[in-house]
């Protein structure tokens, strides 16, 4: 497809388990973002990549959260030793990074993580 895809769409984990969430950005998009959306809230920024470089990880809530984009395309968000408060929808977005003013972020459908 032409849009941002994420997998899995749903993930149920027991507290303490590690999880890995995948994002496939739009082909050719340089920038990639991860957001966390708690129930009834707006998305909150987690981290940002430009190609393979992680330029901003200020939004990651703890050192249990780790993101990578080793080849500048697909990205993985990993959460270690999951806690119940990690339950949320994790959204990925990508943008072309036009030097002009059309740097629109296109969002994927999200992965809904439920930690029991």
Interaction site with another protein (CB under 8 A): 4, 30-31, 33, 35, 40-46, 48, 50, 56, 59, 91, 93, 95, 97-110
Pairing of strands 10-13, 65-68: unpaired
Quote the least distance from Cβ 113 to another protein, whole Å: 14
Q: b/e for 78-100, b at 16 or more Cβ within 10 A?
A: ebeebeeebbbbbbbbbbbeeee
Helices (H), the chain: none
Quote the least distance from Cβ 103 to another protein, whole Å: 5
> Closest CB to another protein among 14 and 39?
39
> Closest CB to another protein among 18 and 56?
56
Quote the least distance from Cβ 42 to another protein, whole Å: 3
Q: Interior CA angle at 43 toward 42 and 45, to 5°?
A: 140
> Closest CB to another protein among 16 and 62?
62
């Amino acid at each position: 497809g032409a849009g941002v895809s994420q997998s899995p769409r749903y993930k149920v984990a027991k507290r303490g388990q590690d999880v890995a969430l995948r994002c496939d950005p739009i082909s050719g998009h340089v920038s990639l973002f991860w957001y966390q959306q708690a129930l009834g809230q707006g998305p909150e920024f987690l981290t940002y990549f430009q190609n393979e470089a992680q330029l901003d990880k200020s939004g990651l809530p703890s050192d249990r959260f780790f993101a990578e984009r080793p080849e500048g395309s697909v990205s993985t968000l990993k959460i270690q030793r999951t806690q119940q408060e990690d339950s949320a929808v994790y959204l990925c977005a990508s943008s072309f990074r036009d030097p002009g003013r059309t740097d629109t972020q296109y969002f994927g459908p999200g992965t809904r993580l439920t930690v029991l």
